[in-house]
Amino acid sequence: MSSDFFDSKENMAPKEREAYYDRRLSEMASIGYVKSKRVRDMFDKRQLNPSDMKTARDLEKLPVISRERLIEIEADDPPFGGFCGSTAEIDRVFTSPGPVYEPHLGEDDPLWARAYYAAGFRKGDIVLNAFSYHMVAAGLTFHEGLRRIGATVVPSGTSSAQLQVQLIRDLDITGYTGTPSFLHSIIKKAEETGHNVKNDFRLRRAAFGAEPLAPSLRELFENDYLIDTYQMYGATEVGDIAYECREKGPWHICEEVIVEIVDPVTGKNVEPGMLGEIVVTRLNNIFFLFRFGTGDLSSITVERCPCGRTSYMLNGIAGRVGDAVKVRGLFIAPSQLKVISNRFTGVRFQLSVFRKENRDFLTLRLEPAGAGLDYNELQKKFEDFFREICTVKIDKVELVKPGTIIEGDKLIVDQRRWE
């Protein structure tokens, strides 16, 4: 008989879980202090000993490290900013825009497996993995999470919707993992090409990551196509963080991470129920990144979930703390926009992202400076460079008259409403 839980950690009594977290955190601090120059410097500078890291609460003694800060640290001391021991055996290195370099966290971490298990994926499932396998951590880490629970994986990555439809049909695919937007495109393509998704396909389950699942889209998948949907939450720097169970309420926090909800200004923990920045420490002995600030806003609920898991839970994502904006699952960070701004001196621009037909739509307003410019050439150069830096494609460009964009205006405006 298959259990409702991935392992017994998910049912730890609160005291037991606390002791487990404390033990693993002290271990990470003492090993990190020896192996990582960055950790040693960070502790020494604050006159801290690894033995001062006794409980999760002690994390407040360390600074929160944002994605922006991590990019700087890694640029100063490539590739891992000294967070990794020089003798660490790393089987893979992933990169994400910034750039951020991340070592793969080893074979014994059940990355994403808890999420897939809670979503009902099992041995016998044939799952289409439509996360990118190219450079970024997504494809391979989600792949291994699925393998760990015994599912068969079809690594379709970012192949065209047409090809994904063919795979779903020919391989009797039972599950999908990827972004909700892409599943929506695949379904539309299937219908365009004469398929009846509900009757012709065995696709009955989907676990989404990298972008929020709009309630309207969830309703469409579940009601019109009988695809049971689940949300997974993580960050490329720290792996999986939380996931939905069959109750589809707040998200269970994974057993391999300590999640703090902090005031982004003070770095101190806020009370359960209060909104703050999600700060994550992944308990591991390879990449000693304490207190990664995700920039996402949420709150913690300490209530028990009817599913039987005893972990604390996150109340979804309330938005972004900073101005970094995620478009189609990819971050556009202020640092990247600055690089672009520096390349095109005198050219003002403003990006807007909004939702159109359940997909992120990115528009650019471009205000060229000076007369005698070849606008078409400028536009093309700008779009190409933008794509190179941010890896996101601009959907529409509008050339505007001088004086339209005011200096100091936001470089990117997020107009999406997740309703």
Chain residues binding Zn ion by CB under 5 A are: 245, 247, 305, 307, 309
| Contact in structure between 396 and 364 (CB atoms under 8 Å) | yes
Q: Residues 247, 208, 137, 155: what is their CA dihedral angle, to the nearest 10 degrees? A: 120
> Which sign does the torsion angle of CA 325, 331, 332, 334 carry?
positive
- Strand ranges (E), 10-125: 65-66, 93-96, 100-103
Question: Nearer to Zn ion by C-beta: 241 or 305?
Answer: 305
* Nearest of 303, 287, 95, 131 to residue 208 by alpha carbon: 131
- In the complex, minimum distance from the CB of residue 248 to Zn ion, in angstroms, rounded to a whole number: 9
Is 4 or 22 the residue whose CB approaches Zn ion more closely?
4
Instruction: Report the residue number, 242 or 392, with the smaller CB distance to Zn ion.
Output: 242
CB 307 to Zn ion: min, Å: 3
Distance in Å, CB of 252 to Zn ion, minimum = 6
R_g over Cα of the chain: 22
* Strand-strand pairing, 325-327 and 330-332: antiparallel
In the bound complex, what is the minimum distance in angstroms from residue 304's beta carbon to Zn ion?
9
Count of Cβ atoms closer than 10 Å to residue 204 Cβ? 16
Whichever of 64 and 245 has its CB closer to Zn ion, that residue is 245
Pick 93 or 307: Cβ nearer Zn ion: 307
Residue 118 to residues 53, 299, 411: CA-CA distances in angstroms? 32, 21, 39
Q: Please tell me the distance from the alpha carbon of residue 127 to that of residue 151, in angstroms, as a whole number.
A: 7
Helix segments in 210-352, DSSP class H: 215-219, 225, 334-343
Nearer to Zn ion, 244 or 360 (CB): 244
Minimum Å gap between C-beta 249 and Zn ion is 7
For the bound state, the minimum distance from the C-beta of residue 223 to Zn ion, rounded and expressed in Å, comes to 22
